[in-house]
Amino acid sequence: MSGSAPHGKTWVGRGIDMLSLLILSCIMWGAGTLVPGHEGEAAVLGALGFLLLAGTLLSELVEVLGMPHLTGYLFAGILAGPHVLHLVDHASVKRLEPVNTLAIALIALAGGAELRIATLKQELRSLVVALALQTILGVVLIGGVFALARPAFVANLPFTGLVGASMLWGVLAIARSPSALLGVLSQTRANGPLARFSLAQVMASDIVVVVMLAAAITLARPLLDPGTTLSTSAFRALGHEILGSVSLGTTLGLVLAAYLKVSGGQLLVVLFALGFGATEVLHYLNYEPLLTFMVAGFVVQNFSKQGERFIHAIEQTGGVVYVVFFACAGAHLNVPLLKDFWSTALLLTVARAVVTIGTARLSSLIAKDQPAVTKYGWSPLISQAGIALGIASIVAAKFPSFGSGFRDVAIACVALNEMVGPVLFKLAIDRAKETKAPTPSLSDVEDAPPAASV
């Protein structure tokens, strides 16, 4: 065998990956041409298999460029999805949404299990300062940019309405992506100040965003509709949701810890049951599944001796699920919207990035963070995904006067952040030298002596 390509595979292996991807794409195109409009079980299974294989192969190819695997999963979904090459139709992507439910449950369980009380105590000052500045300055400054830009869909709103819409955009802008964070950490197996702080900050920010969204909707409604008075019912509902989610999460965590200690068998079945069944029950009870599963994972890790075993089981289960999850997320992204709203989306995306980086640096200086956090602490905050899209959908439903345009521009911004954010975070993790097995760069391989032929 002759010389190797970067990241362990030979150049021949990379070529085989690319050829396999082309053959798979041709097969899917041929199937769609011969059986147009087919939406049965075979189409769904075909879409599932194709997204899994295409995502895996493309992740191996983008790894050569130093990109995280989930970027390959996303690009596979974007290219194959109904908005680009049409290899996978919209109906099939829609029917694969249960995989998203399972993935989110696993992501939340893993995120909670990665949070350790000792780490939180060490990072408490930094975490409080960072969350406070990112929340307050993020909402005010990014909302201010939105008001100054005054996109077309809010052009006819009065000043008070513009203030309300800007407040809602500011809350959407501070939403992060736990799935992107955990996807990169899972690949790199990173461990260090930056990885630990990033995990704590992104997971904690989810709780803050849930609270801020309820507050923003309550405050924005009288601004957008003068006939509406300020009501505290939303705050009572929020308190019920948070307390109920924490209580159920604690109970679930204790039950999981007891099960792992007594038996621990068939964990795959248990995790699938939690991902599908428990999520539906939580929705019925009006509790937040993400928060509930995060608390459950946290309890297993910190109040039992089963934490590492639990994390290992999630990693084994989640490997395949994450590929399909991110590929489906890519297929859902309406790429043509970038063409329609590219100027507004680019302005708001750049403004969000500038404010995020600036406030992260400021909070690190105030809290006197470690050098890696001070330099790269902003990097996990760029990505956006499901939570931001969920906020956009809620705003569209509650404020129909401008909600449709709000949602469309939000989708365009999320598309940009979702494609760029994971790459920036992986680059930061590599630069901070926190990966367990750093991979050589292209220049290192080119400078190295050629390997002997076999």
pLDDT tens by residue, 110-138: 878 877 888 778 778 889 999 999 999 99
Domains in the chain: how many in total?
2
Q: Is 150 exposed, middle or buried (0-12, 13-18, 19+ CB in 10 A)?
A: middle
Whether 133 is in a domain gets the answer yes
pLDDT at 141: 95
pLDDT at 2: 38
Higher pLDDT, 69 or 192: 192
User: What CATH number is attached to the domain comprising 370?
Assistant: 1.20.1530.20
* Shared-domain flag, residues 318 and 383: yes
Q: Which tokens belong to 309?
A: 């075993």
Whether 437 is in a domain gets the answer no
Q: Which tokens belong to 21?
A: 């991807």
Nearest to 287 by CA among 303, 332, 269, 296: 296
Nearest to 372 by CA among 418, 435, 420: 435
Nearest to 180 by CA among 429, 432, 356: 429
Beta-ladder partners of 4: 10
Nearest to 56 by CA among 82, 42, 75, 78: 75
Whether 287 is in a domain gets the answer yes
* Shared-domain flag, residues 89 and 208: no
Whether 113 is in a domain gets the answer yes
CB atoms within 10 A of CB 6: 19
pLDDT tens, position by position, 13-50: 767 777 877 887 787 777 666 665 555 666 777 777 88
Higher pLDDT, 129 or 10: 129
pLDDT at residue 355 above 90? yes
Give the amino acid at 281: V
* Shared-domain flag, residues 293 and 414: yes
Beta carbons within 8 Å of 6's beta carbon, 6+ residues apart: 63, 64, 439, 440, 441, 442, 444, 445
pLDDT at 16: 77
Nearest to 196 by CA among 188, 185, 207: 185
Whether 438 is in a domain gets the answer no
* Shared-domain flag, residues 330 and 206: yes
* Cα distance between residue 307 and residue 309, in whole Å: 5
Whole-angstrom CA distances from 279 to 146, 250, 326, 360 are: 35, 15, 19, 33
* Cα distance between residue 139 and residue 356, in whole Å: 11
Q: Rg of the Cα trace of the chain?
A: 22
pLDDT at residue 370 above 80? yes
Q: Which domain holds residue 35?
A: 6-96
pTM of this prediction exceeds 0.75:
no
The answer to whether 219 and 232 are in contact (CB under 8 A) is: no
User: CA 70, 193, 377: angle at the middle one, nearest 5?
Assistant: 65
Count helices and strands (H / E) in the chain: 20, 0
* Shared-domain flag, residues 69 and 138: no
CB atoms within 10 A of CB 35: 12
Average pLDDT over residues 291-318: 84
pLDDT at 442: 37
* Shared-domain flag, residues 364 and 241: yes
pLDDT at residue 443 above 60? no
* Shared-domain flag, residues 243 and 315: yes
pLDDT at residue 283 above 70? yes
* Shared-domain flag, residues 183 and 300: yes
Query: Of 244-253, 257-266, 434-443, which gets the smallest average pLDDT?
Result: 434-443
Percentage of residues of the chain with pLDDT beyond 90: 19
Q: Given the structure tokens 């509709």, which residue do they identify?
A: 225
